[in-house]
Amino acid sequence: MNTSDFEAWARQQLSDVEQALEAWVPPSAPAGLGDAMRYGVLDGGKRLRPLLVMAACQAVGGNTGAALRAAVAAELIHAYSLVHDDMPCMDNDVLRRGKPTVHVKYGQAQAMLAGDAMQALAFEVLTPEDGASVPPVLQARLCALLARAAGHAGMAGGQAIDLASIGQALDEAALRDMHRRKTGALLQASVQMGAACGGCTDMAWRALGDYGAAIGLAFQVVDDILDVTQASETLGKTAGKDQHHNKPTYVSLLGLTAARRHAEELRQQAQTALAGSGLGAAAGVLAVLADKVVEREN
């Protein structure tokens, strides 16, 4: 797939995702809660997880209406984790996507509640009551994938390791385990949710799982690199904070050159997995997304 085809595809998906977020994250939620939720998720972010869901769905010729719900749900989980992660008791960060963080703008209590409500909303979005747009069996499958990626075995578990690892020297296996959970699990689940929206051979399912695992880890390796090589203005969040918080990263463990090489290896792993998926050209968007994950500058 060439760049301009990809750009056109991504523009359309992002437009659909923004519209869905706009419609489904309720301004009507009481006592300012809706404002805080919307502030935390609308109008910002790369929307990588939604793009992965939609690309994987397209690769297997799946139900795009269901995939759009999965895309929004994945983004809600990601966004809630940032809201909580930025709070004073965690990373105590004041800048996110170039704007004051949710707790700075709405207070800590509202930020915590907004995050909590965003997690619940993810599962609301996956379980529409009509049952027509997303068959109930698929609703259950999507909830299962998302809950496991978000919970103790995935993102929340990774955050706990992250918290405990401040000032510790982790070896590469421990660092990989942390990142696979903290960031990788939800990125991989995004791919899997998209794939679950269509029929998919066992071979393709496994290949897409491997692809998701590789780009999930690559994303974090690149994050570690960007934290030391980019300015806060480019990142839209505070740069240099891993070092500031004395957190183990791929850069602190391997050095910058080896970290870049590792990101490149993971990109290759992702592409190899796609090549063995049997999906052929239908997986073209996923291939471009793997490149984007490694080449991104913020």
Q: Does 141 bind a copy of itself (CB under 8 A)?
A: yes
Exposure string of 161-195, with b = 16+ CB inside 10 Å and e = fewer, is bbeebeeeebeeeebbbbbbbbbbbbbbbbbbbbb
x/- letters, 247..276, toward a copy of itself (CB under 8 A): ------------------------------
Phi-psi category of 98—alpha, beta or left, where left has phi over 0 and alpha has psi -120 to 50? Answer: left
The full DSSP string for 207-231 is HHHHHHHHHHHHHHHHHHHHHHHS-
49 or 267, CB closer to a copy of itself? 49
Task: Name the minimum Å distance from CB 9 to a copy of itself.
Answer: 30
d(Cα 216, Cα 184) in Å, to the nearest integer?
4
**Could you give the angle at which helices 64-85 and 136-150 cross, rounded to 10 degrees?**
20
CA distance 27 to 149: 27
Q: Considering the rule CB under 8 A, would residue 245 count as an interface residue with a copy of itself?
A: no
Binding-site member from 14, 95, 100, 123 for a copy of itself (CB under 8 A) = 123
In the bound state with a copy of itself, the residue whose beta carbon lies nearer, of 3 and 27, is 27
Q: Which stretch binds a copy of itself (CB under 8 A): 159-167, 190-198, 208-216, 227-235?
A: 159-167
Minimum distance from CB of 47 to a copy of itself (Å)?
A: 21
Alpha carbons 255 and 249: distance in angstroms, whole number = 9
Sites of contact with a copy of itself (CB under 8 A): 26, 29-34, 37, 80-81, 84, 87, 89-90, 107-110, 112-113, 115-117, 119-124, 126-127, 129, 131, 136-137, 139-141, 143-144, 146-148, 150-154, 156-161, 163-165, 181
